[in-house]
Amino acid sequence: MAPKKDPNNKTVAENRKARFAYEVIDTLETGLVLTGTEVKSLREGQANIGESYASAEDGEIWLINSYLPEYLQGNRFNHEPRRRRKLLVSKRERARLAQSVEREGMTMVPLKIYFNDRGRAKLLLAIARGKKLHDKRETEKQRDWGREKARLLKDRG
Domain residue ranges of the chain, discontinuous segments joined by +: 10-131
Question: φ and ψ at 3, to 5 degrees?
Answer: -65, 145
Whole-model pTM: value is 0.75
Report CA dihedral (133, 123, 67, 52) to the nearest 10 degrees. Answer: -30
Report CA dihedral (94, 98, 103, 109) to the nearest 10 degrees. Answer: 110
For residues 1-26, average pLDDT: 71
Q: How confident is the model at residue 8 (pLDDT cuts 50, 70, 90)?
A: low
Question: Does residue 136 have a pLDDT over 60?
Answer: yes
Which fold would CATH assign to domain 10-131? Small Protein B; Chain: A; (2.40.280)
Question: Does residue 54 have a pLDDT over 60?
Answer: yes
Question: Does residue 156 have a pLDDT over 50?
Answer: yes
Q: Cβ distance 67 to 81 under 8 Å?
A: yes
